[in-house]
Structure 1
Amino acid sequence: MWYNTKATALLGIDYPILQGPFGGGFSSAELVSVVSNAGGLGGYGAYTLSPQEIYEADRQIKAATGKPYNLNLWVSDTDAPGGTVSDEQFELARQTFKPYFDEAGIPLPEKPGPFKPRFENQLQAVLDIRPKVFSFMFGTLPEDVMEQCRRLGIKTMGAATTLDEAMALEKTGVDLIIASGFEAGGHRPSFLASSEASVTGTFVLLQLIREKVSTPVIAAGGIANGRGIAAALTLGADAAQVGTAFLACDESNALPVHRRMLFSNAARYTTLTRAYTGRLGRGLANRITQDLLGKEKQFLPFPLQSMFLSPLRNAALGQEKWDMALFWGGQIAPVLKHTRAGELMRSLVEETTAYFNGLKA
């Protein structure tokens, strides 16, 4: 059967369907458990959480499911040398975004204090928890960490946006590689070259990796239905990761307006932008992303840009100025149909089964 793959065997799941792990507070224990209980692999993005918050999120997940699930972290969580920027660079960002703060009627923020990387403390929490699956983005893990994961029985999955990144991940001994195409919503997890230079589409990237890499591959980006899963498996993927379609479900922790926007006409127009966080990511195009296209040098590095723009995002949401709020989403959003994660999972399995059964008829 189509669902008997290397990925299902490695991860201990029934179907090679993974729910994308959403960072930034968009994940929920409820969504993870619904997907895992339905035979897929639920995912929880924890890169913004403290170790204690990771322990609590894991407690909630374990209370809702006894099935395998995935915890996700970012290996690199800052692009700011020393965690800060010069006063001149910060002032340039202030002047660039001042018209939008003025329109929202809120003051410009003061320069934030230096950001301190959190990955090592977060990683220790994951190792203590010992989830069945640990996925990571924006880099590779050191040899000693990989060895700890193997010793603890944790399956590892690293994200690649290029063939070079996939080959680098394979050298470290990851169990699976996530081939993240540029169609995907959210941040581009590039780590060997700039994100702007790492924008290969999912199905091309998948085929390139399968030619050079023997590690099982998960296709991610532009997949939201059974046809997409069938296409990924036909091209050699061992599983498919579905992000935007699950983000749009009621069980995700996205705001109701965010979920509505993913089903609206606005979802027809997405863009890659650094304007809101300092790292390149795909969301629904809006006035700010269009106004500031080509002005990336005036933004702060991640995560300082995200901290700087947080008051503006909150004000835009509170004042219903949707053209100033960024709603993450992938290019596949216009085909979304389901608002409940259980229904989406059933549809994904049924459609994929029907496709392969049709080939046999």
Structure 2
Amino acid sequence: MGSIAPTPDKEKKLKAAGIKVTQYRAYIRRKGFASLSKTFKTRTEAKEWLRNNEATVLLEKKSKGSGTTFAKLAELFAAAPPMKGTRYWDAGHLDFWIEQLGPLHLNEVTHGEINAALAVLQTRPAMRATSSGPKPTGKLLSPATINRHLATLSAVMNFALKRGMIEAHPMKAGKVEKLTEGNGRKRVLTDEEVTRLLAAAEGSRWPMMPLFLRMLLTTAARKSEVLHLRWEHVNLAESVAILHETKNGRARALPLVSDVRAALEQASKVRPINSDYVFFDPKHPAQPKNVDTIWRFVRQRAGLLKDRDDPLDQVVLHTTRHSAITKMLKGGANLTQAAVVSGHQTLAMLKRYEHLAAQDAVELAERLLGNKSA
């Protein structure tokens, strides 16, 4: 804090010498910093010095940082109960921000620092789960994945803002912009294509392939979630399988339809003693099966290997997830119900599936409303 006061001692000495002069001393005192002071002949000079040096001290204070670090904030955020209004966050995404911003004090976590970290994130490779751990896919993180990272950071800063740990959210007012996301894969399997794929799976050399594919089609689960399913997580009596390790870090239950449940019951009777995985590798029972080669064979035999020019229209294993979600929505399920099955954390992440059922709405309107004679 700055102040200005006359200097009475010098004034008395000057008066004794017959000289009438008033001098002013300016003071700057800030907690954690050495006090500054200087004497001036006029109050105007003292005020100018005060303005200039107060700004310098304030900048020095900001440059040194103060208060809680981002790493500590992230720790508090992860340990706290879910906060109202926090729609999405991911532990893996939080780790990235701790890596990039962890040592910074909260007043140093500016939009500039965040955008710099964002630039680093855009150079990171996309990873896929394998039996020996995550491996690069050869592609960079998608805009959608990067935006999920930003959503996690925004949730952390909201947490800090609501607790008075920061004065302003550094990502708001367009200071940190989300990336433009593409429409993603558009392919949805028809009933006839599903029949062809299941028939081709029956002809594969791996006897568990038909069950693996059927589970994907009836649970809307991800490839890695089904491949890493363990017998201890399968409850045949309740017709559910519990996923403890999912992409978003939260457990959820997979519904087991009757034919899948029956097939699992048969598989449980002949499972190897030295394997916990439902879909184990016969050559290495302690590991889940690598299905890439077999899946290629199934698509080829079903006539669905690169059957369209647009890569986003081609059939991949994730197409089964798109198809299952779309089938639920077409069948009358709402977004909330579909999210319970698919494991999406926010309804906004499911919104992009709604347009896939738009053709049904057109057909319904044509059949029920388009008859002019009605």
TM-score normalised according to structure 1 size: 0.20
Larger radius of gyration, structure 1 or 2? 2
> What TM-score, normalized by structure 2, do the two folds share?
0.19
